[in-house]
Amino acid sequence: MSNQVSAVDDILSEYQGLEAQLADPALHDDPAAARKVAKRYSELQPVINVHTELTQVSEDLSDAREMAHEDHEFQGEVERLAALEVELEEKLADLLAPRDPQDGEDIIMEVKAGAGGEEAALFAGELLRMYQRYAEKHGFATEILDLADSDLGGVKDATLSIRLKKPSRDGAWSVFKFEGGVHRVQRVPVTESQGRIQTSAAGVLVYPEPDEVEAVEIDEKDLRVDVYRSSGKGGQGVNTTDSAVRITHLPTGIVVTCQNERSQIQNRARAMQVLQARLDQIEREKAEDEAAEGRASQVRTMDRSERIRTYNWPENRITDHRIGYKANNLDHVLNGELDELFTALQAAERAERLEAE
C-alpha cells in the first residue's frame, strides 16, 4: 500500500508540474514541446481522476460511519460507499500496475501478402480493412502512406499510420502491438474452381511512430533514395511528377516507400519518419531480448515468422495461438469488432508483466 501511495504522490507532483507548464504561454511558442507536455498530461489524467474520486468517497464513508452510530438508516449508505471504495482502490491499483512505456504512442503498421499469390493478397486486403474499421469505431485516425494492390483488388503491401484523434493514456500501440506476426487464413479461394480449402498467409508488422519528423537523425551515407511517379489504384497514374519516394537503409536492408503526400519533400520526410520508427523498434527488441535473457513474451512478438492467428472461414472461427483464444465470430471480427480479442490479449500481457515484477 505504501508503494501505491508513493506512486500516486509522484504522479500528483508530475501532474501539477505539467499543469503549470501548460499554463505558461511561452511553452506554446514551441508546438512540438507543447504537444509532448499535453500528451503526458492526458496520460496521467485517468490516475488523477480515480485518485480524486477515491479520496472523496473515503471521506464520505468516514462521515457515513459516524452518522450510522447515531442513526442505523445510514448503514445502507455505509455499505454502498465501502463497496465503491474497494472498487476504486482496485481501479487505481490497475492504473498503477506495470505497463508498456510505449502504450501511449501512435504506430506504423505494415500489412504484406505472404505465400498464396492472389489469395494471400485478397486476405491481406481484408486484414487492412479490418484494422481500419476497428480504428474508425474507436477514435483512431488512419492514413495510408503506401499501397500496392493486386489485380483482383487485394493488397500486396500496405503501410499506414494509426493515431488517436485525441491524446490519451492508451494510444494506438496499447491496442495494435499484439498484431505483429503471421496471420493465416483457411478458406476456399475465389480462384479455386474445385471448392478445395487452401491455406495462405499475410504478415503484419507494427511499431511505434516517432512524434516528430524533425527528430529523425539517420546518416545520409547509409541511405539510397529513389524517386518515382505516384500511382493510384490499379496502377493508374495520379501524379505527373516524380513525387513518390523509396528509401533503402543500406546497413539493414530495410526499404520504406511513401507516395501519399503531395510533394517529394513531404514524402521523403514521412518515409524517413517511418524508417526511424523501424530502426527504433529493432533497437527496442534487441534491448528487451537482452534484458529478458532469452525469455520470450507469451503475448507479443514482432517476429513475422511466427504464426500468431488463424482465420478459418468454413467454421467462422478465429484462433489466437499465443493465448489459446477461440471464437466463432470471424464475420464480426473482420468487420472491425475486435474488442473481445484485444481485451483478452491485454489481460494476458498485464498478467505476464505482473508475474515478471
**Do 107-356 and 2-96 fall under one CATH topology?**
no
**How many Å apart are CA 125 and CA 147, to the nearest integer?**
10
Closest CA to 343 of 166, 183, 134, 45: 134
- Cα angle for residues 267, 140, 18 (degrees, 5° grid): 90
| Half-sphere exposure at residue 224, Cβ-oriented, CA atoms within 13 angstroms | 7
**pLDDT (0 to 100) of residue 292:** 55
Where are the domains positioned within the chain? Answer: 2-96, 107-356
Report whether 211 contacts 277 (CB < 8 A): no
Backbone angles phi, psi at 145, to 5 degrees: -95, -30
Q: In what order do the strands lie in the sheet with 307-312?
A: 140-149, 155-164, 107-113, 198-208, 181-187, 307-312, 317-320, 325-327
**pLDDT (0 to 100) of residue 215:** 54
**pLDDT (0 to 100) of residue 233:** 46
- Is 1.20.58 the CATH number for 2-96? yes
Report whether 131 contacts 78 (CB < 8 A): no
Question: At the topology level of CATH, where does 107-356 sit?
Answer: Alpha-Beta Plaits (3.30.70)
Mean pLDDT per 10-residue interval, the chain, length 357 residues: 75 92 92 86 90 94 90 88 93 82 89 88 95 96 91 90 82 93 88 76 89 66 87 47 86 88 84 87 74 48 67 96 95 96 92 72
CB-based burial, 194-230: b 16+ in 10 Å, e otherwise: eeeeeebbbbbbbbbbbeeeeebeeeeeeeeeeeeeb
